[in-house]
Amino acid sequence: MTFNFDVFWAALTSWVFFEAALISLALALLSHASAIAISMPLALGLDSRRKAVRIAIRLYVGVFRAIPTLLWLLFFWNALPQFSPVFRENWYTPFIAAWIALTVNEAAYQVEINRAALNSVDKGQTSAATAFGFTPWQVFRLVTLPQAARVALPPTVNEFITLLKATSLASVISLQELMTVTNQAVASSFQFQEYYAVAALYYLIIVGLLTLIQSRAEHQFDWTVERSARRGWLGRAKEQSQ
Amino acid sequence: MSTAPLARAAASTETPRIAVQNLKKSFGRLPVLHGVSLSAPQGSVISLVGSSGSGKSTLLRCINLLEVPDSGDIQIDGETLHFDPAKPSGGVQPRQIRRIRSSLGMVFQSFNLWSHMTILENVIAAPVHVLGQPRSQAVERAHDLLKRVGIAEKHDFFPAQLSGGQQQRAAIARAMAIEPKALLLDEPTSALDPELVAEVLQVIKDLAVAGTTMILVTHEMRFAREVSSTVVFLHRGVVGEMGPPAQIFDAPQTEACRRFVRSEFGA
């Protein structure tokens, strides 16, 4: 059996596959964004003075890390509607269910990354800000957060890549993402090589672009290079100031 | 060496820039300050000396309220903060604490410049975010200050690219940028290589001559002698002896101070 390039090319440039790839990417982006938003207070809570808060967060992290992502997806799509009629209405689509499942799952992983990053910020950095009269929120926003972001970036991008690939699991709840569309194309044609190659290429392109953005971002975070010598996001050297 | 202090002698009728009365502070069950009182008139340079563990740095951090005193009074330019041991945070409001902090320039032993900001951003951060100055005005003043401490051309560099001496000079510029009522310096040269100490001391000396009120924790006895109007010898959490440098270093009245001076000058 030979590789049919025409089938491959037609699929690669088709709207169906492109849209499916967009759905995968959007799901990963949304899930990760909301996971980070949830994990931030959780990370701060892990160092809370209240023991009950620490235990509750540990419990959350323990439960959500132990149970497979696939099970969470099935649970939120199939089981949740049994709890409340709210989840039997039209708004509750496979996309929403997958978003919730991946968010709560990912937040459990992101907590430890955020906590390590927040704790890596030198105490002297925050006490200097406090000494100049910054409010606690300003200390966090202007000093702790940007310094922690630098530490958190590489492991967070790693998490994102894992998460992007985990969106393929949402094929079990019939979300029309990349793997679902691929499986449907294969099922009716048996042209495994061609369609798998298309899916693989889409994942490669997305992760490749992401890696590029990561290295640009790390360059922006490099605080040992003179600012005027650093490159802008588009790769061109910025004009010398003054 | 000249024994005449560079700083102006204090006029006792003025309201002192900083006054501390009967300040007490313990960490858990460990008492560090047992009732310290001192006064820094405008334009004075007060050096806090003493062996390690005598409470010098804690006193300085209490004045800036980085540590909340257990009891006592702190007066900054006429505004009195009374610390009530019965209340949380001594009964002083966070807003008032922040206002006091933003009127005192702090210089740390390990510089503590914000590593993710350029030198210029470091200097304008507090004026812009705390005092609400327009950015352009803060930038203009920052360039002046950086020129004054001799690192004008480094404004676009990050702290990690500068030598320790340059970083500490930048930190002094940052502290001066808020136009502080007084400058608090916590062992500003202790973390520096010996060859970089002089450039930082020169900047501090220039500020003293210009009339900046300063409270300085230091191990540089010769410098303290040269620059101070008053030297405070702290001993086991109390003021062991206080007076002009000539008295403390040449004619100490107490045995503890005599022993400290002898060990510091190694004679």
ipTM: 0.89
Residue A223: per-residue pLDDT: 79
d(CA B232, CA B249): 11
Of A125, A221, A227, the CB nearest to B114: A125
Among residues B134, B138, B228, B120, the alpha carbon closest in space to that of B179 is found at: B138
Mutate to test the interface with A, among B60, B89, B99, B115 (most CBs of A within 10 A): B115
φ/ψ of residue B28, rounded to 5 = 60, -120
Residue A237: per-residue pLDDT: 42
Q: How far is CA B97 from CA A4, A122, B122, in A?
A: 74, 23, 22
Q: In which band, very low, low, confident or very high, does the pLDDT at A230 lie, cut at 50, 70 and 90? A: low
Task: Burial-class residue A92 by CB neighbours within 10 Å (0-12, 13-18, 19+).
Answer: middle
d(CA A66, CA A60): 10
d(CA A145, CA A160): 19
CB contact under 8 A, B112 and A132: no
B112 CB neighbours in chain A (<8 A) are 122, 124-125, 127-128
A226 CB neighbours in chain B (<8 A) are 156-158, 161
- Residue B239: partners with Cβ closer than 8 Å, 6 or more residues away: B36, B37, B38, B232, B233
* Domain range enclosing A27: 5-241
Average pLDDT along chain B, 267 residues, taken 10 residues at a time? 49 78 90 92 94 90 92 91 86 90 95 95 96 96 95 94 95 96 94 91 93 93 92 92 92 91 79
Are the CB atoms for B65 and B91 separated by under 8 Å?
no
A221 touching chain B per CB within 8 A: yes
- The shortest C-alpha distance from B1 to chain A (Å) reads 35
- Residue B110: partners with Cβ closer than 8 Å, 6 or more residues away: A124, B191
pTM: 0.84
Range in A93-102, A104-113, A131-140, A223-232 the model is least confident about: A223-232
Residue B2: per-residue pLDDT: 46
Q: B214-217 and B45-49 as β-strands: parallel, antiparallel, unpaired?
A: parallel
Q: Can you state the angle between helices A178-189 and A192-220, rounded to 10 degrees?
A: 160
- The shortest C-alpha distance from B76 to chain A (Å) reads 15
- The shortest C-alpha distance from B112 to chain A (Å) reads 5
Mutate to test the interface with A, among B62, B96, B97, B114 (most CBs of A within 10 A): B114
d(CA A34, CA A6): 40
Q: Residue type for A101, please?
A: A
Q: Both tokens of residue A66?
A: 């132990």
Q: In which band, very low, low, confident or very high, does the pLDDT at A238 lie, cut at 50, 70 and 90? A: very low
Mutate to test the interface with A, among B100, B116, B178, B179 (most CBs of A within 10 A): B116
Per-chain mean pLDDT for chain A: 89
Q: Is B191 helix (H, G, I), strand (E, B) or coil?
A: coil
Among residues B74, B65, B73, the alpha carbon closest in space to that of B97 is found at: B65
> Searching chain B, which residue's CA lies closest to the CA of residue A149?
B116
In this structure, the number of other CB atoms found within 10 A of the CB of residue A137 comes to: 8
User: How far separated are the first and last CA of chain B, in Å rounded?
Assistant: 17
Residue B118: per-residue pLDDT: 94
Residue B3: per-residue pLDDT: 47
The enclosing H or E element of B83 equals strand B79-83
- The shortest C-alpha distance from A168 to chain B (Å) reads 38
Q: Is the pLDDT of residue A240 over 50?
A: no
Using alpha carbons only, what angle is made at residue B21 by residues B20 and B23, rounded to the nearest 5 degrees? Answer: 90
DSSP-based helix, strand, coil % in chain A, nearest 5: 80, 0, 20
B156 CB neighbours in chain A (<8 A) are 226-228, 241
Q: B79-83 and B71-76 as β-strands: parallel, antiparallel, unpaired?
A: antiparallel
Q: In which band, very low, low, confident or very high, does the pLDDT at A228 lie, cut at 50, 70 and 90? A: low
Q: What's the whole-number mean pLDDT along residues A150-168?
A: 93
CB contact under 8 A, B115 and A147: yes
Q: In which band, very low, low, confident or very high, does the pLDDT at A226 lie, cut at 50, 70 and 90? A: low
- Residue A87: partners with Cβ closer than 8 Å, 6 or more residues away: A80, A81
Residue A193: per-residue pLDDT: 92
* Torsion from C-alpha of A55, A59, A60, A64, nearest 10 degrees: 160
Task: Burial-class residue A187 by CB neighbours within 10 Å (0-12, 13-18, 19+).
Answer: exposed
Q: How many domains does chain A have?
A: 1
A142 touching chain B per CB within 8 A: yes
Q: Is A134 helix (H, G, I), strand (E, B) or coil?
A: coil
CB contact under 8 A, B118 and A227: yes
Strand order in the sheet with B45-49: B104-107, B182-186, B214-217, B45-49, B230-235, B238-243
The enclosing H or E element of B95 equals helix B94-101
- Provide the CATH number for the domain around residue A175: 1.10.3720.10
